[in-house]
Amino acid sequence: MNFKMTTTGKNKKVLFLYASLNSGHQKAAQAIEEALLMQAPDVETMNIEALKFSYPRLRKPVHEIYMTIVTNLSGFYDFLWDNVSIEKRIARLKEIINKSTLGKFKKLFGSFPASVAVCTQALPCGFLSTLKKEEGFAFKLVAVITDYDVHAYWIYENVDVYCVATLPMKEKLMQRGVPEEKIKIFGIPVGLEFSQLPNRRMMREKFGVGNESIGVLIMGGSYGVGPLMKIIMNLDKVEEDLTMIVITGKNKKLYKKIYKQLNKIKKPVKLFSYTEDVDQLLGISDLLITKPGGLTISEALCFGVPMIITKGVGGQESCNFKYLLDKNVAVAASNPEDVALKFIELMNNNSSLKSMHNNALKIAKPQAAAQIGQLIKSFL
């Protein structure tokens, strides 16, 4: 069994499930858990990486297949994502897979009888919906969607509450048969650290970034997806005084590749692998260059950081991309060369940067985790 548990010896229990480690889904679950424990310290929590818990031998190959599809076959991924006809065709297969997990989850609930289960990814949501249906468990099932659109694979009859980011998402769920009273609009849950901007001067001193330098944060999500090296090399050619802050996430190969090239890069580069200091690094940045992952962009919105968005993995990130452009908080770049051009355009248009900053703050939801925590608390 793979899990982490916080226990206080009380009988109020909440289970958190996400599909994969070091992902936005996990970060969202942790943000809600943190907020809940601040509001109700007597609650016991357990959080589980659902795929490893249910099918430990499949975890690695499933992740590898997913990464191959999203990095090399994004068009195919777009086709699969939110495809109602595909969802209907595989409904029987989903039912078989979900039922095959019943034994493990019955045992889990026997040892940890949670009153509420919170899922930040559709796969474990299906496992627990089936558990409620087949075994009559009475826990509240809360589905937290961590992107700016919702796909058909999320819809299960035994979900008690859907937590979504926007009104169009609520309307879409209602069109697909989910009762209005089951849908709450809170935003995407981010950590407590994103509710208050860190001391910019102090943080810049901590990370060695000059106060007059333009701070540009470059990310590719938890797994370092995208042409980060090419983006760095193209930004190195611009005239502006900038410092590149680069986070490669869990992509060790990319980290080593960039590290070996640092002596060839003229402009200052602060290079990080996976880090817990994203809030501080965002806080000292004037611009974020990233693919449109739900958690990353939601964190940036909380600090009002304008964005240049590169191509995402398709599916939900295509929807996130459209949301950002519609809200005028980001501009799109088609390739690494275009990133540099968009950077120059933005630096020469201060009114546009200011407008993007203000728009970001207007749609930010830094209290989403706390509000979802309050909802969970009401069920205990």
Least confident of 51-60, 132-141, 166-175: 51-60
What pLDDT shows up at residue 81?
Answer: 67
d(CA 3, CA 18): 11
Q: Could you report the per-residue pLDDT of 218-231, keeping only the tens digit for each? A: 998 777 778 899 99
Residues in Cβ contact with 136 at an 8 Å cutoff, skipping those fewer than 6 apart: none
The answer to whether 308 and 289 have CB atoms below 8 angstroms apart is: yes
Range 298-308 average pLDDT: 97
pLDDT tens readout for residues 9-31: 456 999 999 987 778 899 999 99
* Residue 255, φ and ψ in degrees, nearest 5: -60, -50
Domain 193-363: which CATH class?
alpha beta
Cα–Cα dist 159/156, whole Å: 6
Return the structure tokens found at 236: 């190195």
- Put the strands of the sheet holding 3-6 in their side by side order: 3-6, 43-49, 12-18, 116-119, 140-144, 161-164, 183-185
* Sequence-ordered list of residues with C-beta below 8 angstroms from that of 294, at least 6 positions apart, any chain: 24, 146, 147, 148, 188, 316, 317, 320
Give the residue range(s) of CATH 3.40.50.2000 domains in the chain. Answer: 193-363
Specify the domain boundaries for CATH 3.40.50.2300 within the chain. Answer: 3-188+366-379
Question: Do the bridges between strand 140-144 and strand 116-119 make them parallel or antiparallel, or are there none, so unpaired?
Answer: parallel
**Least confident piece of the model among 64-78, 158-172, 288-302, 310-324:** 64-78
Closest alpha carbon to 116 in 142, 93, 155, 147: 142
Q: 249 is written with which tokens? A: 């996430």
Provide the pairing of β-strand 43-49 with 3-6.
antiparallel
Average pLDDT, the chain: 90
Distance CA 355, CA 7 (A): 46
Q: Please name the residue that has the structure tokens 């330098």.
A: 213
- The CATH number of 3-188+366-379 is 3.40.50.2300
Mean pLDDT, range 57-68, rounded to an integer:
69
Question: What's the pLDDT band for 83 if we cut at 50, 70, 90?
Answer: confident
Res. 314 pLDDT band, cuts 50 70 90: confident
Residues 1-14 have pLDDT tens digits of 444 545 444 569 99
Per-residue pLDDT tens over the stretch 239-273: 999 999 999 988 899 999 999 999 999 999 999 99
Q: What is the mean pLDDT of residues 132-145?
A: 94
Q: What's the chain's length in residues?
A: 380
Judge whether residue 210 has pLDDT over 80. Answer: yes
The CA distances from residue 108 to 15, 21, 116, 308, 380, in Å, are: 10, 19, 13, 44, 19
**Which residue from 375, 376, 368, 374 is spatially nearest to 166, judged by alpha carbons?**
368
pLDDT tens for 343-355 read 999 999 999 999 9
pLDDT at 197 over 70: yes
Tell me the HSE value of 348 on the side-chain side, using a 13 A CA sphere. Answer: 8
Phi first, then psi: give them for residue 180, nearest 5 degrees: -55, -40
Please give the model's pTM, rounded to 2 decimal places: 0.90
Nearest to 296 by CA among 369, 190, 185, 224: 190
